[in-house]
Structure 1
Amino acid sequence: RATCKDWCSALLPVVIPSPWLLLVGKNSDTCNFLSLPTRRSFTYSLLPELRGVQYVGSQAGWLAVFNKNLDVSLINPLTAARICLPSFLTLPNFELVDGSCEIAYAKAGGDKWNLLQTTSTQHRSYEDIMYHNGKFYCITVEAEVFAFDLSGVSPTVTVVAESTSLGLTHFDYHIPCSRVRHIHSKYLACSSTGELFLILRHAVLSYESLGWKAIMVWRYNPQRQPCWEAVKNLGNKSLLIGINNAISISTENFRGARRDCVYFTEAPVRTRVNGRPEIIHSIVVSDVERGKWARARANSQLQPHLLPPIWFTPSML
């Protein structure tokens, strides 16, 4: 199917059980894939273009990477297809205000990166970004959510969720705005039915159990104020959170995944090594209804020399 478009259209579609975890060593000529549905792992020769790069995201079979020269590419590690994007050196000079983190975008056929900002979104500091239904959804450190539409000549923006100036309430537990801003990492995810989720993760998970206060999930509800309502059960869905990508899966026909859970690929965990406290990065899974989290069994595949794992949806196109 990957030979050419004619062969691809002539053959029946091949359903590849996904998602996978991509594990890459810092100085390795190979990469390992771990299939979550089948619980099988296998090794690929690492493409030359993927050696020594920084991984910044994954979507629909493509990896977004940049190298030490700040050259940016989209690469399919299975087919070796590559799309070159403008270099980060084309980013315009700008001044950060109060540690703000700006977002930049490049369009197909363009030769430079452009700052994504409007009058109403200047000097915001963003924590996560997600593409859904033709728009880019971005969440700030204040838990504001903006939807940017880049289909026109100039970007347009819609306010999806306003700042949680008084904090958030997860059932009977209130989180002040200062803790939302400084203590919790924020992620966006969207289900196949279009539901928008906000996930808060305590900055460092502790071996002294934080219970459900460590990882909490909210669902966007525009009919109420505040617009985030606490989620106690995801049903047959689970959320996979990773490096600049989030995946929602149905676990009904997915024997390799646990239902009603949130998986993280890079969570800092405070633990003890040889009797001494230490922080390590781990794959963790949180049971939403039970309010408990634990390190995932996939950690047995991790080695100290590996880069952070990446959720990967295989594609031969």
Structure 2
Amino acid sequence: MADHCASSWSDLPWDLLDRIVQHLELPGTLAMAAVCTSWRSAAAASGVPRSGTPWLVSRESEPLTKTKGSEFRNVLDPDKIHMVSYPQGRRNLSWCGASHGWLIASDELSNLLICNPFTLAMIPLPPITDLECVEGVYDNDRSIAGYYYGNSDKLISPPDYIGRWFYQKVVLSSDPSPSHGGGDYIAMAIYGNNQVSFARARENSWRHGTALSEMGKDSYADCVYHNGRFYTVTMCGVVETWDLNKEPAHEPNKQVIIAGGDGRYRRILTRFLVSTPWGCLLQIRTQRRNDHPRKVMVDVFEVNVKERKLVRLSSATAFQEYTVFVGLNESVCLHTKDYKELRPNHVYFATPWLTQEANFGLRGWKGVVIYDLENQTFEEVLPASKHSAFCPQQVWFIPNI
């Protein structure tokens, strides 16, 4: 990286630079570290990792209380907490995704926002009232007073309440930053366990996908963007691909890639899809072990899209020299040659929203854990909060600055 500061600034005394770092929030320290070599060294000496390493983002307080910011923990030093304020004075954001260097959150009105906590940029997605299962309730000033959800009753949910649990996962097709040609991104949301919708940049409405028909027998487990298309996997192992027409009025086109699943529904905790740097689409399957029903085993498969089948991979070599981060975020692989502190062929799990209810409460799952694929062992990194099983709020975030 070229040094851009004049010598008079780069030669500031070390103790002064350290005092500056101590008064900055994390976004400021990362920006400072990008200026020149001496400032980068001062930031590193104060415990600020380089910007591209993964961060674990969680709420400053429990889900049912309002807050002005989030806690950021770097994967290399999880015991150190950096406080980061919400963009533009927002309060009570609930995280439901991370993708391409951005976080996705539900705001005070339960509408979705794409936000960058380091640049403070925010992009609104279409309102929740555009989704078929939600109806707005308005006061005399035509402001949102609450929502009706579903058809079973007419209970009014407070404006911010439904967003804390309604969205299970949101991913993006590309970086929405203007500097990255971000005018063509598409957002995909899983909500209500069996429904998906899409929103293209600059469109003010959601495009609704076909809901799963077997509600109660199957539900969505994960979604990912891979090789120009979105993919979903259900708890039963059904894999679908989605394609959007350019015409907003047209419903997204769904094709089933693997129709029968794998027959493991009863023991499944959840599944993840991973788009790898070497071009393969992989599935991580987590389930209860037969010999120890209170413990979890992890298997990895290649989803062969062309031949429409699953191919089991060796646990010892499934991700080669890569580390995988899964949870509320869009799954991501990082090469350990670029991040030498990370462990190759390990999976870093954060508690996901999308789990099968019958298998809640398994030991070694809630919170943040690292799984060694070769030795099939879990290591706890951070314990779960008391609400994490019902309202997970820890999400892996990899900045793009």
TM-score (norm 1): 0.74
- 145 and 305 in structure 1: CA distance in 2 versus 1, 3 angstrom threshold: closer
Q: Distance in 2 between matches of 1:262 and 1:254?
A: 14
Q: Distance in 2 between matches of 1:266 and 1:129?
A: 16
> 1:113-192 residue pairs with structure 2 within 5 A?
113-117=206-210, 123=213, 125-153=219-247, 154=250, 155-164=252-261, 167=262, 177=263, 179-180=264-265, 183-192=268-277
Q: Distance in 1 between matches of 2:121 and 2:351?
A: 27
Name the SS for the 2:393 alignment partner: coil
Bigger-Rg structure (1/2): 2
Higher relative contact order (CA 8 A, sep 6+): 1
Matching residue of 2:348: 263
Q: Distance in 2 between matches of 1:256 and 1:285?
A: 13
Name the SS for the 2:265 alignment partner: helix
Matching residue of 1:294: 379
For the Cα contact (< 8 Å) 2:322–2:334, is it kept in 1?
A: yes
Q: 1:66 aligns with which of 106, 120, 123?
A: 106
Name the SS for the 1:289 alignment partner: coil
Matching residue of 1:8: none
Give, in angstroms, the shift of residue 23 of structure 1. Answer: 2.5
Q: Which amino acid aligns with 1:36?
A: V
Q: Distance in 1 between matches of 2:254 and 2:60?
A: 39
Name the SS for the 2:343 alignment partner: coil
- 303 and 220 in structure 1: CA distance in 2 versus 1, 3 angstrom threshold: closer
Q: Distance in 1 between matches of 2:92 and 2:238?
A: 35
Q: Distance in 1 between matches of 2:90 and 2:330?
A: 19
Matching residue of 1:75: 115
Matching residue of 2:46: none
Name the SS for the 1:42 alignment partner: strand
Give, in angstroms, the shift of residue 74 of structure 1. Answer: 1.0
Q: Distance in 2 between matches of 1:224 and 1:111?
A: 37
Q: Which amino acid aligns with 1:286?
A: Y
Unaligned runs of 5+ in 1: 2-10, 168-176, 272-278
- 103 and 30 in structure 1: CA distance in 2 versus 1, 3 angstrom threshold: closer
Q: Distance in 2 between matches of 1:53 and 1:146?
A: 30
Name the SS for the 1:255 alignment partner: coil
Give, in angstroms, the shift of residue 58 of structure 1. Answer: 0.8
Q: 2:367 aligns with which of 282, 288, 292?
A: 282
Name the SS for the 1:281 alignment partner: coil
Q: How many residues align?
A: 277
Name the SS for the 1:64 alignment partner: strand
Q: Deviations over 1:202-236 (max 9, x none)?
A: 379x99873xx522211223577842323322221
Q: Which amino acid aligns with 1:230?
A: L
Give, in angstroms, the shift of residue 42 of structure 1. Answer: 2.8
Matching residue of 1:240: 325
For the Cα contact (< 8 Å) 2:69–2:91, is it kept in 1?
A: no
- 264 and 207 in structure 1: CA distance in 2 versus 1, 3 angstrom threshold: farther
For the Cα contact (< 8 Å) 1:236–1:259, is it kept in 2?
A: yes
Matching residue of 1:4: none
Matching residue of 1:274: none
Identify the structure with the greater strand proportion: 1
Q: Distance in 1 between matches of 2:333 and 2:117?
A: 22
Give, in angstroms, the shift of residue 77 of structure 1. Answer: 1.0
- 208 and 139 in structure 1: CA distance in 2 versus 1, 3 angstrom threshold: closer
Q: Distance in 1 between matches of 2:104 and 2:193?
A: 23
> 1:9-20 residue pairs with structure 2 within 5 A?
16-20=51-55
TM-score (norm 2): 0.59
Q: Which amino acid aligns with 1:102?
A: Q
Q: Distance in 2 between matches of 1:38 and 1:256?
A: 10
Larger mean CA deviation between 244-253 and 44-53 belongs to 44-53
Q: Deviations over 1:11-69 (max 9, x none)?
A: 99x97332221122234433222233576653322335552122111112221112342
Name the SS for the 1:63 alignment partner: strand
Matching residue of 1:219: 302
Matching residue of 1:36: 75
Q: Which amino acid aligns with 1:180?
A: Y
Q: CA RMSD in A?
A: 3.6
Unaligned runs of 5+ in 2: 5-34, 41-49, 135-149, 152-191, 353-359
1:108 aligns with 2:201: yes
- 221 and 131 in structure 1: CA distance in 2 versus 1, 3 angstrom threshold: closer
> 1:43-62 residue pairs with structure 2 within 5 A?
43-47=83-87, 50-62=90-102
Q: Distance in 2 between matches of 1:187 and 1:141?
A: 10
Q: Distance in 1 between matches of 2:385 and 2:269?
A: 27
For the Cα contact (< 8 Å) 1:207–1:269, is it kept in 2?
A: no
- 159 and 207 in structure 1: CA distance in 2 versus 1, 3 angstrom threshold: closer
Q: Distance in 2 between matches of 1:216 and 1:59?
A: 24
Give, in angstroms, the shift of residue 253 of structure 1. Answer: 3.2
- 100 and 66 in structure 1: CA distance in 2 versus 1, 3 angstrom threshold: closer
